[in-house]
Amino acid sequence: RKEVEQDPGPFNVPEGATVAFNCTYSNSASQSFFWYRQDCRKEPKLLMSVYSSGNEDGRFTAQLNRASQYISLLIRDSKLSDSATYLCVVNGNRDDKIIFGKGTRLHILP
Amino acid sequence: DTAVSQTPKYLVTQMGNDKSIKCEQNLGHDTMYWYKQDSKKFLKIMFSYNNKELIINETVPNRFSPKSPDKAHLNLHINSLELGDSAVYFCASSHGNRGPWETQYFGPGTRLLVL
């Protein structure tokens, strides 16, 4: 099983729709989880951290399921500007090694 | 007011050459990183320095040598460049004292093409 695995997409979604991504991780000892966003030919930027109790930031909701070792990102009322690649990030062992998934590409269609 | 800056932005060079990429952060962070993003967009950590000290050194050819003259700078020198080194190299920084919940702040990337 890969350390961090994501569906590469692309997800082509009409504007206004709700879209959800999942990400699975292999190391049950992983401590922290994040979603980053990377626009085309740009650097990754933190979208949100993912806490055990789940957290919400506007139209974005992140959830963690430790038992099944996956995290999810839900985007409601999607906008054209949400088009990007969404990277799942897991911070692993005591050496603080950070592992990025390959990303899921999202295209919001007008 | 750039937070993490890298130079050059683009680098085109011949196989066998030696090149350097520079990175600077003005965020006052203690930890800096180098990542490689290949053509398949897979972002992989190469090195991490905390307060000028190497703390992560992934399986990277020893042709790659990071150097941190101070905690605000982390440069990457690459000897004997190979075709497979073509990628986007991102520098990043983080506070360095917040454990596993550190946010990474990335530079704009250096696009390296080896011919």
Rounded Cα distance between A67 and A40, Å, is 34
Residue A94: pLDDT band (50, 70, 90) is low
pLDDT surpasses 80 at A17: yes
Joined together, the tokens standing for residue A80 give 């054209």
| Residues of B whose CB is below 8 A from A98 | 45, 104
Q: Is the pLDDT of residue B6 over 70?
A: yes
Closest CA to A90 of A68, A69, A59, A67: A69
Interface check for A103 against chain B (CB to CB < 8 A): the answer is yes
pLDDT at A1 over 70: no
Cβ–Cβ gap B100/A102 under 8 Å: no
Pick from A42, A45, A97: which is nearest to B45 by CB? A97
Chain A residues closer than 8 Å to B102 by CB? 91, 96
Once rounded to an integer, what is the mean pLDDT over residues A46-58? 91
List of chain A residues whose C-beta atoms are within 8 Å of the C-beta of residue B90? 43-44
Q: Do B104 and A98 touch (CB under 8 A)?
A: yes
Residues of A in contact with B35 (CB under 8 A): 100
Distance from CA of A85 to the nearest CA of B (A): 10
Percent over 90 (pLDDT), chain A: 76
User: Could you tell me the pLDDT band of residue A96, with boundaries at 50, 70 and 90?
Assistant: low
- Chain B residue with minimal CA distance to A31? B100
pLDDT at position B1? 63
Q: What mean pLDDT is predicted for residues A96-105?
A: 86
| Residue partners of B22: CB distance under 8 A and separation at least 6 | B6, B7, B73, B75
B7-58 per-position pLDDT tens digit: 999 999 999 999 999 999 999 999 999 999 998 888 999 998 988 888 877 8
pLDDT at residue A95 in the model: 56
pLDDT cut 70: percent of chain A above it: 95
**Cβ count within 10 A of residue A56:** 12
At A50, list the tokens.
Answer: 């993912």
pLDDT digits (tens, 9 = 90+) for B75-107: 999 999 999 999 999 999 998 877 777 889 999
Question: What is the CA angle B107-A88-B7, rounded to 5?
Answer: 10
- pLDDT at position B57: 78
Model pLDDT, residue A54: 87
